[in-house]
Structure formats: C-alpha cells, structure tokens
Amino acid sequence: MPVLSAHNISKAYGERTLLRDASVTIRTGERVGLVGKNGTGKSTFARILAGVEPKDGGDIAVRKGATVLYLEQMPDLPRDKTPRELVSEGLAAWSAAKSAYDAVSTRLATGPRVVRPRRATTTRPRSKIRRASPPRSSGSAAGSATTR
C-alpha cells in the first residue's frame, strides 16, 4: 500500500527547468534514496514531497495518517543550544519510550516471585489398630530363666 505517491512533478526556476514529469511511489516498509549529480533537483524534489516547497505541476498523494518530513542539508540551528541539547530534544520521545521499556523489563526480571500452589495432599486417617511392639528385654534372653 503506497504511503506516498507523486506523479508528473515539475519545478522550474525562471528559464531553468529542474524537474519535469518526476514520479515516485513509496510503499510501506520501503527505504528510498535519491541519487544524482549536484544541482539536478534531488533536494528540491524531497522538499516538494514534504510540502516544504511548492510544485509547479503534478499530483502528490500521502496516505491518511502518514507524515512526510524533510531534514535540511544545512539546517538553521539555534545558536544558544549545544549540539548535545539539540540531539537530546530530538530524541525526547525515543528516550521516554526506552525508559518505559527498561522499567517494564526490570519489573519483569526482578518482580515478585510467583508462588505456585502446592499439590493438595490427602491425609489418610490413622489406623486405630497399633502394631504390637516387640517385648522389652531385661538383659536376659526371652523365655529363659535364671537359676542360682
């Protein structure tokens, strides 16, 4: 199913035609790279697909719920922030998701032990009949008499 479909895109700057009848279809799961010589319109085409720059002609359709973004080659970054701060801000959603994942993983690994119920044991009523104990000996053999 196409995520983005662009047909017959055209773009000119004055007399110079940069794009004429450029078309592309990007489907779910595809990874796409634009390859070409400098000045042939790769960045312009990407900006048009992302809606950053207007097209002179053609049609673009983006699947409902999909977002097309464009990262400038030379972004205009705020001068009051360090590169680390900018990257951290950009990764905020990912960091939050990773923290939640780590917390759940830790809870699963070290959480409460599952106590399994023991098998029910049946207790048999004790027999009221007792076994006879062997006779106690008083140091002499049973049945023998001592005489003096």
Which tens digit of pLDDT belongs to each residue from 31-41?
888 899 998 99
In sequence order, the 6+-apart residues with CB closer than 8 A to the CB of 78 are 86
pLDDT digits (tens, 9 = 90+) for 127-147: 566 666 666 655 544 444 444
Please state, in angstroms and rounded to a whole number, the distance separating the CA atoms of residues 5 and 67. 13
Q: Are 61 and 2 in contact (CB under 8 A)?
A: yes
C-alpha torsion 84→85→87→91, nearest 10: 130
Q: Can you give the pLDDT at residue 71? A: 84
Domains of the chain: 2-85 (3.40.50.300)
Please state, in angstroms and rounded to a whole number, the distance separating the CA atoms of residues 45 and 73. 13
